[in-house]
Structure formats: structure tokens, C-alpha cells
């Protein structure tokens, strides 16, 4: 089986069909174009499909009782989202919004469950991938609770830098300051101050619309 983080969805599904003899899966392989800032699903909506990002980026967000938006996931090229409520048979617990103009592929719930249940090898491979993404979200929540703002901003910059390398030759991070602040879990003003400190230290380069990470290893290893 291919590594799902590295292979395209089409390859995985083709091999899954062969491995599991899943001839009943007739996916619409046409990409669905989603406009920038368009809602994909909202908190409380019925979960009916799994999503795969073919291009662009999607954020998943929750809104606190005080009305503050917290980004709980940011998904780019080659990543799946919207899977937990399918496994748990619950409505969506967050909302998904396109950060950029994006192309998504859909796997309907019945096809998703068939992939998981009708062939153990396929199911195990998929579950390993999803477990890794869940662990990543748990680590993000722990960081929000216990890490300093410099540590959280540094880790977020490294994550976004790695993601940007998959889609951009210069690995420029293009994310609004408000979105980045929501991802870090801080106020925009605090984020701006920290970014300025990192720029003065030569760790990043800033323009009004982009951030370039110049020293990812220093950001990753520094004791903030």
C-alpha cells in the first residue's frame, strides 16, 4: 500500500479497489472548486462525506462561547479532513472554510466505510493516517495550554513552512494575520509583536502578505 501522505488520492483508491475488490465504489473523481472563504460545512451539519484537498487550503474552526474563533486544523495538498464524525456517526463539531480557492475531492460516507471495513490492510493504513492527524491536533491543544506564545508561534511557522514547501518554490507562507493568530491561539497584536521579534533575530522575513521562514531549525529547537 502507498503512504497516504505522499501519494495522490486516485492512486490510493485504485489500489484499494483492487485490494478489496471494491468494484461498487464509483467515485466522482472530478474536483469540486471551492471559492476562497466559502463554507464547506458548518458546525452541526450532518456528516455525509470525507474530503481530500487536491489544491488550496482549508481551515477547520470552532467558535468559543465568547465568540472567539479558534482554528483547530489547517489542511493542504494531499490531506484528508472531515473524517471523525463519519467514524463516530455524529454531526460535524467544527466548521470548514476555504482559506484559498481550493479543489476538493469527495468520498461519500458509504464508500469511506467500505474502504475501512471490507479490507483490513486498507483500513489499517487509513486509520494510521487519521490517528496521526488526531495526535497532531491533541498536541496543538496541549501547546495552547502550556507553551509560551513564542514557542507556539515558532511551531506554527515551522508547520506552515513545511506545508508551503509542497506548493510553492519559495515556501512563502500566505495566511492572514487574523487566521494565524487563531491558529496560534492568541491575539493578533501579540502575534505581530512576536513576528517582529523573530524578524529582528533574522529567523523570518516579512512582507505585508507573506512570511518566509529563513531558519526553520532554529525556530524548531530554540528554548523560548
What are the structural domain ranges in the chain?
9-144, 147-221
Decide if domain 9-144 falls under CATH 1.20.120.1200: no
Report pTM: 0.71
Residue 13's pLDDT is what? 60
Residue 14's pLDDT is what? 60
Confidence grade of residue 48 (pLDDT, cut at 50, 70, 90): very high
**pLDDT for residue 56 is more than 70:** yes
Confidence grade of residue 153 (pLDDT, cut at 50, 70, 90): very high
Residue 119's pLDDT is what? 64
Q: What is the mean pLDDT of residues 39-62?
A: 92
Pick 223 or 20 by higher pLDDT: 223
User: SS3 for 131?
Assistant: helix
Mean per-residue pLDDT of the chain: 80
Residue 9's pLDDT is what? 55
Q: b/e string for 101-140 if b means 16 or more Cβ within 10 A?
A: ebbbbbbbbebbbbbbebbeebbebbeebbeebeeeeeeb
Q: Which CATH architecture has domain 147-221?
A: Orthogonal Bundle (1.10)
Amino acid at each position: 500500500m502507498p503512504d497516504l501522505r505522499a501519494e495522490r488520492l486516485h492512486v490510493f483508491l485504485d489500489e484499494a479497489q483492487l485490494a478489496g475488490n471494491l468494484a461498487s465504489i464509483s467515485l466522482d473523481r472530478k474536483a469540486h472548486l471551492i471559492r476562497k472563504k466559502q463554507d464547506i460545512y458548518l458546525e452541526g451539519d450532518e456528516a455525509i462525506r470525507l474530503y481530500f484537498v487536491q489544491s488550496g487550503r482549508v481551515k477547520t474552526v470552532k467558535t468559543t462561547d465568547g465568540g472567539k474563533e479558534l482554528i483547530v486544523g489547517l489542511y493542504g495538498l494531499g490531506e484528508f479532513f472531515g473524517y471523525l464524525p463519519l467514524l463516530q456517526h455524529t454531526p460535524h463539531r467544527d466548521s470548514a472554510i476555504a482559506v484559498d480557492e481550493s479543489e476538493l475531492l469527495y468520498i461519500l460516507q458509504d464508500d469511506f466505510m467500505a474502504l475501512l471495513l471490507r479490507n483490513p490492510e486498507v483500513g489499517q493504513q487509513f486509520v494510521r493516517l487519521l490517528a496521526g492527524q488526531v495526535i497532531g491536533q491533541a498536541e496543538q491543544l496541549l501547546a495552547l495550554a502550556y507553551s509560551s506564545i513564542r514557542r507556539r508561534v515558532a511551531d506554527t511557522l515551522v508547520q506552515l513552512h513545511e506545508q508551503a514547501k509542497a506548493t510553492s518554490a519559495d515556501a512563502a507562507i500566505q495566511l492572514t494575520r487574523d487566521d494565524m493568530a487563531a491558529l496560534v491561539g492568541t491575539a493578533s497584536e501579540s502575534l505581530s509583536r512576536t513576528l517582529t521579534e523573530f524578524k529582528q533575530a533574522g529567523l523570518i522575513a516579512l512582507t505585508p502578505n507573506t512570511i518566509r521562514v529563513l531558519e526553520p531549525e532554529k525556530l524548531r529547537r530554540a528554548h523560548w
